[in-house]
């Protein structure tokens, strides 16, 4: 009996040590906004304030920026699902091959028909952690790894990792302990409780689920998700576990529903109906962030919690629904969502938390691919056998050293798809590379390369491809090498079925 009692005591003490160790791990919050542009807040991410910074009222983002670091050159993909898969896997879009947003229906593409090109084969069924699902990328995901390391993993909000009928339709299948409101849908049916967060009474594809109690209380969708997220974090605290909260707000994606709390204020500022609704969605996001920060202060977790705030792609710049003229909403950046010009891929990003310097800016260009390895370092998780090849790098050394810049690094974007039915130069059908201050874009349909010095020409007004033949040639070769190494494929011509040329072939043609 005495030996048994001692064994029980040893087991109890070991359990307490393990639990104590788990509690020392930092909490991690990813606060992801949908379709928020680089300047869509009162925090300037450029060298100077723009008109947008004066329009939007986001005091909590300002507080977060004072608590941490702004990244002035943070990049994602140009549409949503590719970014979300990269975030969860650390893989570049050219490698995971979920190159476009995924449909709600399995095995169904989202590419609009085009008169000249067909998209290449891509993983239309999104992300999976198990083999056997056709047209998916199989990987070890961030929540899956954090869960194994003792974290309580919470998904709240937009999922959009894969269609209904595939694992990615339910975030619990990719490693989350809880899933609140995450489905195959890429936008909500409505933000309004009076609509039941549905587009219509029979909506079963785009309706937001799991929030009935908040519908009864008349909560705007952004607020409902915030309250549900806080409630789930309380569950983690009761379990004495560190938490990973992926709060993926549906705002500021369409539909632009009116938030009555903010609408009139922006009308008085001179905005039209659509822009006032959009500004209200932005301010609702800021309110959500503020409530999360206040909650952390209340429970004494601010100093032990990382907050990563970012958008999933550049701001929507189509008109309508945005105010005309089109593609000017992300000034000083060119174009917006669906484009590999800066307006479609450069996003607002702020990091605050343990050991993060305060009230600083980093100008090093970084990618959404980098978030996965960075968070694993925060959680002190090492030596993992991953199914996938990591394309991202931890950004912690850049966080620590404001003067450290790597101008040799190559960032790659690949979008061989047709996002909309708009036949416009700069939308869809592109690949791009950035190395240092130089950025090269390959426009698939036109079989044309454009070269920009982003430092001198952030607006991408001056294509200097033919003025810089050596730079054009070297950048095109680098883009080709990386795309091929990552297994990327290019569109094919509808009339012949032949694949379009690689970028280095286009450069050779342009320089003859």
SS (H, E, C) 216-227: HCCCCHHHHHHH
Does one domain contain both 392 and 462? no
Same domain as 274, residue 419:
no
Query: What is the enclosing helix (H) or strand (E) of 215?
Result: helix 212-216
| Mean pLDDT score, 380-404 | 95
At which of 338, 373, 400 does a domain end?
Answer: 400
Give the pLDDT confidence score for residue 176 in this predicted structure: 98
Which phi and psi (to 5°) does residue 33 adopt? Answer: -105, 150
Residues 379 and 283 in one domain: yes
- The confidence band for 175, taking pLDDT boundaries of 50, 70 and 90, is very high
Which whole number is the average pLDDT over 6-28? Answer: 54
Whether 246 maps to a domain, the answer reads yes
Both 499 and 352 in a single domain?
no
- The pLDDT > 70 percentage for the chain reads 96
Query: Looking at residue 24, what is its pLDDT?
Result: 85
CATH value at residue 248: 3.40.720.10
Collapsed DSSP state (helix, strand, coil) of residue 152: strand
pLDDT score of 2: 52
Look up the CATH number of the domain holding residue 454: 3.30.1120.10
Of residues 472 and 24, more confidently modeled? 472
Mean pLDDT, residues 474-482: 98
User: Of 346, 370, 400, at which residue does a domain stop?
Assistant: 400
Residues 459 and 383 in one domain: no
Tell me the HSE value of 235 on the side-chain side, using a 13 A CA sphere: 14
**263 in the same domain as 179:** yes
Residue 114 belongs to domain spanning: 26-400
Does residue 9 surpass a pLDDT of 50? no
Q: Distance of CA 272 to CAs 262, 320, 321, Å? A: 13, 12, 11
Cβ(310)–Cβ(349) under 8 Å?
A: yes
Residues 227 and 10 sit within 8 Å (Cβ to Cβ): no
**C-alpha to C-alpha distance for 92 and 99, rounded to whole angstroms:** 10
Beta strands in 357-409 (DSSP E): 360-362, 366-367
Q: Summarize pLDDT for 309-359 with one digit per residue, the tens.
A: 999 999 999 999 999 999 999 999 999 999 999 999 999 999 999 999 999
Instruction: Give the mean model confidence (pLDDT) for residues 230-257.
Output: 97
pLDDT(23) > 70: no
Report the C-alpha dihedral over residues 72, 77, 78, 84, rounded to 10 degrees: -110
pLDDT band at 17 (very low <50, low <70, confident <90, very high): very low
pLDDT value at 140 more than 60: yes
Consecutive H or E run containing 154? strand 152-157
Question: How much is the pLDDT for 452?
Answer: 98
Tell me, yes or no, whether 5 lies in a domain.
Answer: no
pLDDT value at position 255? 98
Strands 69-71 and 349-352: antiparallel
Quick one: 368 and 467 in the same domain?
Answer: no
Q: Dump pLDDT digits (tens) for 292-322.
A: 999 999 999 999 999 999 999 999 999 999 9
Please indicate, yes or no, whether residues 382 and 428 belong to a single structural domain of this protein.
no
* 225 or 13, higher pLDDT: 225
Q: What percent of the chain has pLDDT over 90?
A: 94
- Do 477 and 489 contact (CB within 8 A), yes or no? no
Contact 185, 162 (CB under 8 A): no
Within a domain: residue 223? Answer: yes
pLDDT at 49 over 50: yes
Residue 307 lies in a domain: yes
pLDDT of 22 over the 60 cut: no
Task: Answer yes or no: is 14 within a domain.
Answer: no
Q: What is the pLDDT of residues 69-92, one digit of tens each?
A: 999 999 999 999 999 999 999 999
Count of domains forming the chain: 2
Domain-located, residue 267: yes
Supply the pLDDT for residue 402.
Answer: 87
State the Cα–Cα distance between residues 94 and 75, nearest whole angstrom.
Answer: 15
- C-alpha distances in Å from residue 113, one per residue of 58, 107, 108, 185: 39, 16, 13, 21
Q: Within a domain: residue 21? A: no
245 with 121, same domain: the answer is yes
Judged against a pLDDT cut of 70, whether residue 375 lies above it is answered with: yes
Q: Are residues 496 and 396 in the same domain?
A: no
Are 374 and 433 contained in the same domain? no
Mean pLDDT of the chain: 95
The answer to the question of residue 379 being in a domain is yes
The pLDDT value recorded for residue 512 is 87
Q: 91 and 34: one domain?
A: yes
pTM of the model: 0.95
- Among candidate residues 348, 379, 400, the one where a domain is terminated: 400
């Amino acid at each position: 009996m005495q030996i048994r009692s001692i064994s029980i005591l040893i087991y109890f003490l070991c359990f307490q040590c393990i639990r104590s160790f788990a509690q020392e791990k930092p909490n991690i919050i990813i606060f992801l906004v949908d379709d928020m542009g680089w300047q869509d807040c009162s925090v300037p991410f450029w060298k100077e304030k723009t008109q947008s910074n004066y329009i939007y009222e986001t005091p909590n983002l300002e507080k977060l920026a004072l608590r941490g670091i702004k990244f002035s050159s943070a990049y994602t993909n140009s549409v949503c699902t590719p970014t979300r898969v990269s975030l969860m896997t650390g893989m570049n879009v050219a490698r995971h091959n979920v190159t476009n947003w995924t449909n709600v229906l399995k095995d169904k593409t989202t590419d609009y028909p085009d008169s000249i090109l067909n998209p290449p084969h891509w993983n239309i069924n999104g992300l999976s952690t198990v083999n056997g699902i056709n047209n998916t990328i199989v990987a070890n995901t961030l929540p899956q790894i954090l869960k194994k390391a003792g974290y309580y993993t919470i998904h709240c909000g937009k999922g959009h990792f894969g269609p209904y009928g595939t694992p990615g339709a339910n975030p619990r299948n990719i490693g989350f302990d809880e899933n609140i409101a995450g489905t195959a849908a890429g936008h909500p049916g409505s933000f309004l409780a009076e609509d039941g967060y549905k587009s219509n009474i029979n909506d079963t594809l785009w309706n937001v689920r799991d929030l009935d109690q908040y519908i009864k209380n008349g909560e705007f969708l952004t607020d409902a998700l915030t309250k549900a997220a806080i409630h789930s974090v309380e569950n983690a605290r009761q379990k004495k576990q560190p938490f990973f909260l992926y709060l993926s707000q549906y705002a500021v994606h369409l539909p632009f529903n009116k938030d009555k709390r903010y609408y009139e204020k922006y009308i008085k500022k001179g905005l039209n109906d659509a822009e006032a609704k959009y500004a209200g969605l932005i301010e609702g996001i800021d309110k959500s962030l503020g409530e999360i920060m206040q909650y952390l202060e209340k429970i004494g977790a601010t100093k032990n919690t990382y907050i990563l705030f970012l958008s999933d792609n550049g701001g929507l710049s189509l008109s309508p629904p945005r105010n005309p003229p089109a593609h000017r909403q992300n000034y000083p950046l060119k174009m917006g969502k669906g484009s590999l010009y800066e307006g479609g891929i450069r996003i607002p990003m702020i990091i605050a938390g343990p050991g993060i310097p305060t009230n600083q800016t980093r100008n090093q260009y970084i990618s959404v691919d980098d978030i996965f390895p960075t968070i694993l370092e925060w959680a002190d998780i090492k030596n993992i056998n991953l199914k996938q090849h990591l394309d991202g790098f931890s950004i912690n050394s850049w966080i620590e050293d404001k003067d450290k810049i790597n101008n040799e690094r190559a960032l790659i974007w690949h979008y061989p798809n047709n996002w909309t039915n708009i036949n416009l130069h700069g939308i869809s059908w592109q690949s791009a590379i950035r190395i240092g201050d130089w950025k090269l874009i390959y426009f698939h349909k036109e079989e044309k390369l454009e070269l920009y010095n982003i430092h001198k020409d952030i607006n991408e007004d001056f294509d200097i491809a033919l003025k810089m033949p050596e730079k054009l040639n070297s950048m095109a070769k680098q883009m080709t090498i990386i795309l091929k190494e990552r297994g990327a494929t290019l569109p094919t011509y509808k009339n012949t079925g032949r694949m379009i040329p690689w970028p280095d072939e286009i450069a050779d043609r342009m320089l003859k």
